[in-house]
């Protein structure tokens, strides 16, 4: 990309803030942001956790190991994504996690779409930590090496779109698009913001709560105060007036 992806602007927020917020909607455990040692990040809201790679420039397996170490015994599975997936929809996160939960034999649920597997938009059982220790110790740092060690549930496009919420809100599976070059970022940033419903106003396009109106509000019935709270297609927002504060 030529500059740090995490801090790239995204409709008044940043890529890292959007990824954090989308994943936080779905999971019931901690959300951990993993960075390189001493890497600068935009300020993170309260409630999110920060971990660091044990060694720099060692690729995604090092980051995955650091994240799973931070989670520890607080969860038996984790959804993993990069900060460069700003079109990620909560419905796809939920679909991937639910698929893993329904197949006790598998250690990973891997979307396979657009002609590629997507190991950085996938779910893993925390038991893969033992594989990571062995692979990193042997300097085998490719995600393929991890997947070769695991029993993998592969989710093709039909399997992902069998979920009605994914089919409705992410029919092209744009959740799986990642941004690796300036032109890819520019093209994604130029897309219209998600279409949401605002109580009393009808449908609008907004990628953050601030773009939809003045906080506080409820998003799909959940109270939210952070203006940078990410919004996704299909959200229903209701703003809370002074009398409701």
**Surface-to-core class of residue 228, CB atoms within 10 Å of its CB (0-12 exposed, 13-18 middle, 19+ buried):** buried
Q: Which domains does the chain have, with CATH numbers?
A: 9-183 (3.90.550.10), 193-244 (3.10.20)
pTM: 0.94
Provide DSSP, 113-131: ETTEE-TTEEEEEGGGHHH
pLDDT score for 243: 39
List 224's β-bridge partners, or say none.
217
Per-residue pLDDT tens for 147-200? Answer: 999 999 999 999 999 999 999 999 999 999 999 999 999 999 999 999 999 999
What is the mean pLDDT of the segment spanning 124-136? 95
Percent of the chain's residues with pLDDT above 70: 98
pLDDT value at 138 more than 70 = yes
Beta-sheet pairing, 32-35 with 49-52: parallel
Residue with tokens 């925390």: 126
Is-contact 47 32, C-beta < 8 A?
Answer: no
pLDDT band at 59 (very low <50, low <70, confident <90, very high): confident
What is the mean pLDDT of the segment spanning 9-29? 95
Average pLDDT, the chain: 93
> Among 10-14, 53-57, 68-72, 129-133, whose mean pLDDT is lowest?
53-57
Q: How many CB atoms lie within 10 A of CB 194?
A: 22
What is the mean pLDDT of the segment spanning 46-57? 90
pLDDT score for 44: 86
Residues sharing a CB contact under 8 Å with residue 100, sequence separation 6 or more, in sequence order:
77, 106, 108, 109, 123, 124, 125, 153
pLDDT score for 182: 96
Q: Give the angle subtended at the CA of 167 by the CAs of 151 and 89, to the nearest 5°.
A: 75
pLDDT band at 3 (very low <50, low <70, confident <90, very high): confident
Phi-psi sector, 59: left (phi>0), alpha (psi -120 to 50), beta:
left
């Amino acid at each position: 990309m030529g500059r740090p992806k995490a801090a790239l602007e995204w409709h008044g927020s940043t890529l890292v803030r959007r990824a954090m917020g989308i994943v936080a909607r779905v999971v019931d455990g901690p959300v951990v942001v993993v960075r390189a040692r001493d890497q600068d990040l935009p300020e993170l809201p309260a409630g999110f956790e920060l971990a660091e790679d044990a060694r720099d420039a060692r690729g995604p397996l090092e980051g995955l190991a650091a994240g799973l170490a931070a989670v520890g015994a607080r969860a038996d599975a984790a959804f993993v994504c990069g900060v460069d997936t700003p079109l990620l929809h909560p419905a796809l996160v939920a679909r991937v996690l639910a698929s893993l939960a329904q197949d006790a034999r598998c250690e990973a649920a891997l979307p396979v779409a657009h002609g590629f597997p997507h190991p950085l938009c996938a779910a893993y059982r925390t038991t893969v930590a033992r594989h990571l220790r062995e692979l990193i110790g042997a300097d085998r740092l490719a995600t393929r090496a991890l997947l070769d060690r695991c029993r993998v549930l592969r989710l093709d496009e039909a399997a992902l779109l069998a979920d009605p919420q994914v089919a409705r809100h992410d029919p092209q599976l744009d959740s799986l698009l990642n941004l690796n070059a300036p032109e890819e970022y520019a093209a994604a940033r130029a897309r219209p913001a998600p279409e949401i419903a605002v109580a009393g106003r009808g449908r609008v396009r907004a990628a953050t709560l601030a773009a939809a109106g003045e906080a506080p509000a409820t998003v799909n019935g959940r109270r939210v105060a952070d203006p940078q709270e990410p919004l996704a297609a299909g959200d229903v927002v209701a703003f809370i007036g002074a009398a409701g504060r």
